[in-house]
Every structure is written in C-alpha cells, then in structure tokens.
C-alpha cells in the first residue's frame, strides 16, 4: 500500500499548490481594480455563471434601446448586422439559412442608411443597409463626435463590457447611477454627477472631508427616461429595465461567443476529468511494484 | 543527447537502413528510455508542463499571426475580428492570452522546485543558467506580445518599459529611439515588436533543446539530491517511458483543467479591462500596471527612488539568478536536509508573493488603512512603498547574504546514502 500512498500524498500537495497558484493569480485581479465608485449594483443577469445563457427577449429589447437611444451618439464599430443573427444572438432563428439571410436582421439593416459609392459612376450615395454592413457611425469622424459632445467623443460600445471592471453590472449601475447631486458638491460645467463613475471628487467637495461622495463626473447626461422606448413584449418600460436590457445586449456584443464557449468548456472539463481518471489508473498500474 | 547505453535494436529493413545513415529513431528511442530517478515527485512534472505551454503558445500564435494586422490603426480591431469572425478564433486567442499566464505559473513553480532541491548545483549549473536565459526570453516575449493588441495597457506598458532604457546615462536616449524606431511609440514600434514576438519563441525553443541536452548529460536531480552511483542505477532508476510519461501526462491533464477553467469560463480574469480600450497616446490610464507575472519585478523597479537605480535593481533581480550556483555555499543539494535554509526559503516564497501584490498597488496607498504612521525619508512607513522596499531588501539578501552564510554555518540533517533509503525506512511493506 505504501507505494500508492506516497504518490497520493504528493499529488494532493500538488493539487493544493495549483489551487493556491490559481487563488493568487485571481487575488491579483481585484488588486488592480481602480476605486472611485460605489459597490456595483448586481443586475442578476441570466448569463452569469458557468451555465448561464442569454435571454433572447432581453437581448432584443437591449438592442432596441441601443438603436433608439445610445446609437445616436455611440458607435459599435466591431458589430455587423449579421452578428445579431449568430447563434446565441438577439435575432438568431433556428430556421435561417445563415446569419446574413436572417429576415429580422435584413429588415433591421434596411432601416439604416449606409454611405457608399455608386458602382457605375463612383459618386457618393446613400443606400439601404444589408446584413453584411457594419453598424453605421453616428458621426462622420472622431473630431466631429468630440465637437458635438463638448470635446469628449462618446466611446465606442463594441467591447464596453470587457473594457470596464464589473462588465454588465457596471453598465447597469452607471446608467441608473445618476443620483441627486449631494449637497456641497460643485458640478463642473458640461459635467454630470454619477455615483458609479470612476474619479475623485475631493477637489469639488466643500462638505466633511471624511465623507467625500463616491463616484465621479461624466459628460453624458442621464440618457434614459421611463417610457422612452416602446417594449412590445409587456416588459415594464422603466429606466431600470432599459438599463439592465441594454447592459445585457452590450455584454453579449462584447463577446458574442461566450455562451457557446462556456458550453464547450463544460464538455471539455468532463472529458479532461475522465482522461485524468484513466491516466491516474494507468499510472498506478505502471508503477505497481516500484517502491518510490 | 542521451549518454546512457543504447538499447535500441532496429527491427524492420527501413529502420536498419535508416539507422546506419540517420539514427533518428535510435535517438528518439534512447531519449525515451533515459534512466530517471524513481523518486521524482510531482514538482518535477512542470518541465513537461512547460514544454506543453511552449508548443501551445507557438501553435496558437502561428494561427493568430495569419489574421492579426500589425498596424496601429487596425491592430485592435483585427484581434477582435479574430474572436468574432474566425472559426474557433475566440478559443485560439483566449488560449494564447491565458497561455502566457499559465506558462508563467508553471515556470515560477519549476524555478522554485529547482531552488528548493538545489537543482542548480554542480554538475547542473548549465541546466540552470540556460533555464534563466529561457526565463528572461519569456519575459521579453510576453512583454512584446502584450503590446500587440494595441489597447491602452499595451501602449502605456510599452511606453513605461521602453522609457526605462532611456534612463541609462549617455547612451540611453539614442538606444531608446533605435528600439522604438522613432522618437515615440508608433507604427514602427508595433511592427518590430510583432516581428520580435514571432522570432523569440523559436529562440526559446532552441534554448529548450540546450536545456534538455544539459539535463540528459548531467542527469536529473531528485528530491534526495544525491548523485546516483553507477552501481545503484538498476535499483534506483526507471526508464523515462512509460514511468514518467504517464506521471507527467497525469500532471499535464490536471494543469489543462486549470487552463481550461480560465479559457472557457473567465478568459479575461487575469487581464486588465483597460486593454479593451483602444490605445490612445493622448490619454494616460489612471493606473498603469503590467500583467500579474511581471508585478514582482515591477515592484522592485518602483522601490528604488532613482529611475536608473530602479532599472538596475529590476534587471539585477533577474541577473542574480544566473550566478545563483556560486552564491550557495552548501554542499547539500536538497533543502529537505537543510532545516534552517528551508525556513528562509518559505519566507522567500512569501516575499515573492508580497512583491507581486505590491506591484499592483499604488505606492502611496496605506498597507493597513487607518493605521497612524509617520513619514520615513520620502514616504509614509505604512505604505506600499516601504513594504516593497522591505521585501526587495529580503529578495536580494536571500541571494547575497542568507544563501552564502547559512550554507557555511548550518548543520544539515544526515543524508541518505541512496534514494531508496527514505522509502525503505518509511515503510515495512514497501515491496507492495
């Protein structure tokens, strides 16, 4: 028996060690997180966790909020209309021949005008969008975007959920974080107070130095109002729902393959665990009778 | 490469023909039958794990290079396009990005194993030194690779690190411009970084061949740390295959499980969110930090108030590893029999973790929030600045003071005459 106990013990040690290494690397992550805001609100999203999936209705509502509200200032340069119909996407239809053939997406693309050149004359023209087109840019260029928004170009939203700590919860918190301005806080012109924006408000605070309000200044005024976007599925048309839905949509757009990847991950882990078991049995068999 | 007697007998006509012209099959067979100490524990499996890491990085990297565009205007979008429109591209890219972290987890454990069991001592100094070269090349490759997605951390990380070269007196500035390909980090920098990032892994692979050559020539160390006498070889050694192929294989699968958890379920947990913001030379991020595996060295860099001094300390922290075989004065290899040194080793590991932690914090932030503190020279005592300095001091003292002195003063435990002895004394039914 002794021959088996020894490797078992050292194996356990190695496992503990690998777990410790993983723990350390994970612990290093939050260490890098920047402060400056309240603890984020938890949107309770359906796609959280290893088995979470997107709620297609929520993604469709989120797309609608993006298209009708956000898209007037924010680009999504990395998105094509066809992406909306990829498996797991807001408009995926099991009967579609391909994402580019999806009827919803073709109709949605047709609603926007795309700058192009006439293939006969080379003259600049505007034409209906197709599923293969990228989302159109709200401004002709970055300078125009900045000029129209008090000097700060609205950031592209394609990967926004990956570009901020907290992902979808951050977006949800920010969009619902336009709290009443705390008394004693001087707002800079062209800025708005948001409880979840990164920043340090100390220089603008005249109250108790020990209780500087959390949050920061943001150039974007509160973008959402109740009833602003019409939901066709009976979901309450509240700012909270709009914020949650558009956060889910942006989280999907930031990594459209995430649910498929998690699903593949479950299969991969099951395979690896079985493979590890078989290999461990082979190991015991091969080393049988060798004292070490 | 292998110095043990060949047991390969060519069987088929083709093998016989080949054996007299290019004995490549014999080479492989001898390689796999290398006599290996039978007492190697799981700490010895990281060599195989690292080989897997290198192959994974090269394989995924070659595919990524087919789709990546090294241009400041297009790089960021091309990386995202890989993850959106290339078949399996999200897995390939996330495997490559997390693979770097996995590579460093494994290499740090591999190096600590060498340190604990004295694997750098005669006759294995060259294995260790070539290993240090590989480690240095890994850091360089990882840094170059992190610049390629051209996010905010890519750009500003490159800015901070290349600026260090500028700190060298007199020649710093011209070297900096030569390295960047211009006065500022721009397209020329990105292009050469891509070129070098593709080149260095193959240099690493070449060094791995040297590393293994030296290993097979000098023979593996083992947890007991003694050289195995020729007459004990039959009793104390087993052929590498199948004994260690199966043991390494099992460890590799466990490692892959950890790898898969990151790639499939939290691919961005080890990265920094700011790197998903396209590089903007006009906007400095609030907090520039390197990837986690560079943090201990970044902390040492910031511990020294003088910029050039910091650069020297940082490179010195890696450089000292090269002369480690001559700093350790003990004749005993394995710390299993060096109870005093073992304590200093554990402290060294803890200090390494503390340095990594400090590297991710703002130097002026308080270590214990709210604790009253006084200012010592240029910073509050209760700040990461001073914790980093304390840890840096121990890091260098470990190599330059503790290792030489303890080796001379300590009284090691009795060392077994053979590697079988500890097994035999630990059990009365060892034949099992």
Interchain pair B292, A25: CB under 8 A: yes
pLDDT < 70: residue spans in chain A: 1-38
Interchain pair A14, B432: CB under 8 A: no
**CB under 8 A, 24+ apart: contacts of B404-409:** B404/B327, B404/B328, B404/B329, B405/B329, B406/B330, B406/B338, B406/B340, B406/B341, B406/B344, B407/B328, B407/B329, B407/B330, B407/B341, B408/B329
Q: Judge whether B1 lies within some domain.
A: no
Interchain pair B286, A198: CB under 8 A: yes
For B244, which residue in chain A has the nearest alpha carbon? A283
- Pick the residue of A4, A29, A50, A164 with the most B CBs within 10 A to test the interface with B by mutation: A29
- Pick the residue of A1, A2, A35 with the most B CBs within 10 A to test the interface with B by mutation: A2
Q: How far apart are CA B206 and CA B130, in angstroms?
A: 10
User: B227 and B368 in one domain?
Assistant: no
User: B155 and B92 in one domain?
Assistant: yes
Q: Kindly report the average pLDDT of chain B as a whole number.
A: 94
Q: How far apart are CA B224 and CA B227, in angstroms?
A: 9
**Dihedrals phi, psi of A147, to nearest 5 degrees:** -60, -35
List the 193-212 stretch of A: residues with Cβ below 8 A of B: 198
**Of residues A164, A256, A268, nearest to B264 (C-beta):** A268
| Cβ-based neighbours of A64, under 8 Å, separated by 6 or more | A229, A231
- CA distances (Å), B79 to each of A208, B45, B151, in order? 47, 33, 10
User: B369 and B265 in one domain?
Assistant: no
Q: How far apart are the first and last CA of chain A?
A: 12
Q: Judge whether A67 lies within some domain.
A: no
pLDDT < 50: residue spans in chain B: 1-2, 427-432
Q: How far apart are CA B90 and CA A258, in angstroms?
A: 9
- Pick the residue of A6, A27, A28, A99 with the most B CBs within 10 A to test the interface with B by mutation: A28
Handedness of CA B202, B205, B210, B211 (dihedral sign): positive
The answer to whether residue A162 neighbours chain B at the CB level (below 8 Å) is yes
User: B137 and B251 in one domain?
Assistant: yes
Query: Would you state the pLDDT for residue A42?
Result: 95
Length of chain A: 292
Interchain pair A165, B286: CB under 8 A: no
User: B306 and B159 in one domain?
Assistant: no
Interchain pair A78, B249: CB under 8 A: no
Q: How far apart are CA A99 and CA B225, in angstroms?
A: 62
Which residue range forms the structural domain that includes residue B299?
291-328+339-411
Pair A109, A128: CB distance under 8 Å? yes
Q: Judge whether A269 lies within some domain.
A: yes
CATH code for the domain of B260: 1.20.810.10
Q: Judge whether A268 lies within some domain.
A: yes
Interchain pair B42, A13: CB under 8 A: yes
User: B63 and B49 in one domain?
Assistant: yes
Pair A159, B80: CB distance under 8 Å? yes
Interchain pair A290, B243: CB under 8 A: yes
**CB under 8 A, 24+ apart: contacts of A147-153:** A148/A73, A149/A73, A149/A219, A150/A190, A150/A219, A151/A190, A152/A219
User: B276 and B299 in one domain?
Assistant: no
The interface predicted TM-score of the complex, written ipTM, equals 0.92
3-state secondary structure of B114: helix
Q: Which residues of A touch B353 (CB under 8 A)?
A: 24
Q: Judge whether B431 lies within some domain.
A: no
Pair A135, A77: CB distance under 8 Å? yes
Q: Which residues of A touch B261 (CB under 8 A)?
A: 22, 265, 269
Q: Judge whether B190 lies within some domain.
A: yes
For A33, which residue in chain B has the nearest alpha carbon? B272
Query: Would you state the pLDDT for residue B380?
Result: 85
Which residue range forms the structural domain that includes residue A270?
263-292
DSSP assignment of chain A equals -HHHHHHHHHHHHHHHHHHHHHHHHHHHHHHH----SPPPPP---TT-STT----HHHHHHHHHHHHHTGGGT---TT-BGGGGGSTTSTT--TT-SSGGG-HHHHHHHHTSEEEEE-TTT--EEEEE--TTSBPPPSSSSHHHHHHTTTT-PPPP-TTTTTSSTTHHHHHHHHHT--PPPPTTBPPPTT-EEETTS----GGGB-S-GGGPPS-EEESSPP---TTSS--SS-----HHHHHHHHHHHHHHHH-TTHHHHHHHHHHHHHHHHHHHHHHHHHHHHHHTT---
Give the closest-approach CA distance of A53 to chain B in angstroms. Answer: 12
Closest CA to B49 of B253, B299, B324, B212: B253
Total tally of structural domains belonging to chain B? 2
Q: Judge whether B362 lies within some domain.
A: yes
Q: How far apart are CA B349 and CA A45, in angstroms?
A: 39
Interchain pair A264, B264: CB under 8 A: yes
User: B299 and B231 in one domain?
Assistant: no
User: B324 and B274 in one domain?
Assistant: no
Query: Would you state the pLDDT for residue B230?
Result: 86
Q: Judge whether A290 lies within some domain.
A: yes
User: B142 and B269 in one domain?
Assistant: yes
Q: Judge whether A101 lies within some domain.
A: no
Cβ atoms within 10 Å of B118's Cβ, excluding its own: 24
Closest CA to B41 of A23, A277, A279, A12: A12
CA angle in degrees (0–180, nearest 5) for B248-B254-B259: 115
For B421, which residue in chain A has the nearest alpha carbon? A292
Q: Judge whether B421 lies within some domain.
A: no
Residue A78: is the preceding peptide bond cis (ω within 30°)?
Answer: no
Helical pair B24-32 and B13-21, crossing angle rounded to 10 deg: 100
**Residues B60-73: pLDDT tens digits?**
999 999 999 999 99
**Dihedrals phi, psi of A60, to nearest 5 degrees:** -65, -40
3-state secondary structure of B358: helix
User: How do B35-37 and B237-239 pair as beta strands?
Assistant: antiparallel
3-state secondary structure of B220: coil
For A286, which residue in chain B has the nearest alpha carbon? B243
Give the closest-approach CA distance of B39 to chain A in angstroms. Answer: 5
Q: Judge whether B418 lies within some domain.
A: no
Q: How far apart are CA B386 and CA B242, in angstroms?
A: 51
Q: How far apart are CA A64 and CA A268, in angstroms?
A: 35
Interchain pair B251, A288: CB under 8 A: no
- CA distances (Å), A45 to each of A53, A58, A252, in order? 9, 10, 11
DSSP state of B7: -
Q: Judge whether B268 lies within some domain.
A: yes
Q: Judge whether A288 lies within some domain.
A: yes
Q: How many CA atoms lie within 13 A of A221 on its CB side?
A: 5
Give the closest-approach CA distance of B256 to chain A in angstroms. Answer: 8
Q: Which residues of A touch B157 (CB under 8 A)?
A: none
Q: Judge whether B422 lies within some domain.
A: no
Q: DSSP alpha helices (H): ranges in B68-186? A: 75-85, 89-116, 125-147, 152-166, 172-180
Reported as type and span, the H/E element at residue B37 is strand B35-37
Three-state SS for B248-314 is HHHHHHHHHHHHHHHHHHCCCCCCCHHHHCECCCCCCCCCCCCCHHHHHHHHHHHHCCCHHHHHHHH
Query: Would you state the pLDDT for residue A37?
Result: 56
Give the closest-approach CA distance of A153 to chain B in angstroms. Answer: 12
Pair A82, A104: CB distance under 8 Å? no
Q: Judge whether A74 lies within some domain.
A: no
**Residues B399-426: pLDDT tens digits?**
999 999 999 999 999 999 999 877 666 5
Q: How far apart are the first and last CA of chain B?
A: 35
For B253, which residue in chain A has the nearest alpha carbon? A276
**Of residues A28, A77, A162, nearest to B295 (C-beta):** A28
Helical pair B125-147 and B89-116, crossing angle rounded to 10 deg: 150
Interchain pair B253, A290: CB under 8 A: no
CA angle in degrees (0–180, nearest 5) for B298-A215-B275: 40
User: B279 and B322 in one domain?
Assistant: no
Q: How far apart are CA B186 and CA B313, in angstroms?
A: 28
DSSP state of B151: B
User: B368 and B272 in one domain?
Assistant: no
List the 115-134 stretch of A: residues with Cβ below 8 A of B: none
User: How do A113-117 and A124-128 pair as beta strands?
Assistant: antiparallel
Handedness of CA A277, A278, A281, A282 (dihedral sign): negative
DSSP state of B432: -
Query: Would you state the pLDDT for residue A23?
Result: 54
Interchain pair B423, A279: CB under 8 A: no
Q: Which residues of A touch B73 (CB under 8 A)?
A: none
Give the closest-approach CA distance of B18 to chain A in angstroms. Answer: 31
Helical pair A239-254 and A56-68, crossing angle rounded to 10 deg: 100
Q: Judge whether A20 lies within some domain.
A: no
The answer to whether residue A278 neighbours chain B at the CB level (below 8 Å) is no
Pair A107, A124: CB distance under 8 Å? no
Query: Would you state the pLDDT for residue B430?
Result: 38
Interchain pair B420, A291: CB under 8 A: yes
Interchain pair A14, B427: CB under 8 A: no
Length of chain B: 432
Total tally of structural domains belonging to chain A? 1
**CB under 8 A, 24+ apart: contacts of A222-228:** A222/A178, A222/A192, A223/A69, A223/A70, A223/A175, A224/A65, A224/A69, A224/A175, A228/A68, A228/A69
């Amino acid at each position: 028996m002794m021959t088996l106990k020894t490797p078992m013990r050292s194996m356990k040690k190695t496992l503990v060690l690998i777990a410790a290494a993983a723990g350390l690397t994970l612990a290093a992550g939050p260490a890098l997180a920047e402060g400056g805001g309240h603890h984020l609100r938890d949107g309770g999203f359906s796609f959280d966790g290893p088995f979470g999936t997107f709620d297609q209705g929520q993604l469709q509502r989120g797309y609608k909020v993006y298209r009708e509200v956000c898209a007037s200032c924010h680009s999504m340069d990395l998105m094509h209309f066809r992406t909306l119909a990829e498996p797991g996407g807001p408009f995926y239809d099991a009967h579609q021949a391909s994402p580019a053939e999806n009827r919803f997406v073709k109709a949605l693309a047709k609603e926007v005008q795309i700058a192009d050149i006439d293939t006969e004359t080379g003259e600049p023209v505007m034409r209906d969008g197709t599923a293969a087109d990228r989302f159109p840019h709200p401004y002709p260029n970055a300078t125009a975007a900045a000029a129209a928004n008090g000097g700060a170009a609205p950031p592209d939203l394609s990967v926004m959920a990956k570009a901020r700590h907290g992902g979808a919860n951050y977006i949800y918190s920010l969009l619902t974080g336009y709290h009443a301005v705390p008394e004693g806080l001087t707002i800079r012109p062209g800025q708005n107070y948001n409880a979840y924006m990164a920043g340090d408000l100390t220089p603008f605070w005249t109250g108790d130095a020990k209780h500087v309000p959390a949050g920061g200044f943001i150039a974007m005024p509160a973008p959402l109002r109740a009833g602003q976007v019409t939901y066709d599925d009976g979901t309450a048309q509240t700012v909270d729902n709009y914020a949650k839905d558009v956060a889910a949509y942006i989280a999907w757009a930031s990594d459209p393959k995430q649910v498929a990847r998690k699903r593949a991950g479950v299969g991969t882990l099951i395979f690896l665990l079985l493979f590890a078991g078989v290999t461990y049995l082979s190991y015991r068999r091969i080393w049988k009778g060798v004292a070490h | 490469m292998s110095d043990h007697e060949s047991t390969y007998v060519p069987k088929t006509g083709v093998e016989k023909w080949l054996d007299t012209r290019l004995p490549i099959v014999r080479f492989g067979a001898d390689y796999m039958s290398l006599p290996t100490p039978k007492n190697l524990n799981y700490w010895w499996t990281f060599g195989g794990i690292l080989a897997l890491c290198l192959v994974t990085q090269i394989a995924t990297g070659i595919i990524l290079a087919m789709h990546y565009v090294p241009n400041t205007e297009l790089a960021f979008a091309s990386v995202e396009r890989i993850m959106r429109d290339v078949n399996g591209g999200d897995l390939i890219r996330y495997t490559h990005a997390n693979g770097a972290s996995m590579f460093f987890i494994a290499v740090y454990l591999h190096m600590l194993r060498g340190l604990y069991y004295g694997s750098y001592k005669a006759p294995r100094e060259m294995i260790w030194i070539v290993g240090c070269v590989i480690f240095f090349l890994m850091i360089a490759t990882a840094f170059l690779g992190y610049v390629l997605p051209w996010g905010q951390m890519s750009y500003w990380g490159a800015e901070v690190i290349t600026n260090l070269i500028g700190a060298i007196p007199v020649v710093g500035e011209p070297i900096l411009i030569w390295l960047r390909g211009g006065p500022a980090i721009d397209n020329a920098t990105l292009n050469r970084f891509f070129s070098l990032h593709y080149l260095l892994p193959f240099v690493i692979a070449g060094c791995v061949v040297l590393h293994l050559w030296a290993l097979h020539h000098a023979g593996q160390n083992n947890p007991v740390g003694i050289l195995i006498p020729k007459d004990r070889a039959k009793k104390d050694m087993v052929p590498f295959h199948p004994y260690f192929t199966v043991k390494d294989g099992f460890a590799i699968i466990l490692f892959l499980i950890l790898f898969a958890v990151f790639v499939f379920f939290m691919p961005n947990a080890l990265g920094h969110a700011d790197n998903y913001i396209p590089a903007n030379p006009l906007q400095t991020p609030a907090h520039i930090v390197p990837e986690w595996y560079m943090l201990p060295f970044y902390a040492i860099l910031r511990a020294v108030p003088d910029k050039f001094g910091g650069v020297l300390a940082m490179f010195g922290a890696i450089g000292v590893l090269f002369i480690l075989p001559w700093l350790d004065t003990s004749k005993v290899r394995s710390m299993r029999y060096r109870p005093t040194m073992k304590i200093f080793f554990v402290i060294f590991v803890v200090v390494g973790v503390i340095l990594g932690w400090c590297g991710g914090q703002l130097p002026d932030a308080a270590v214990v929030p709210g604790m009253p503190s006084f200012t010592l020279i240029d910073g509050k005592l209760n700040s990461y600045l001073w914790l980093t300095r304390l840890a840096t001091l121990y890091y260098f003292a470990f190599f330059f003071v503790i290792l030489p002195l303890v080796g001379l003063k300590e009284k090691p435990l009795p060392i077994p005459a053979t590697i079988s002895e500890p097994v035999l004394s630990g059990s009365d039914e060892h034949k099992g």
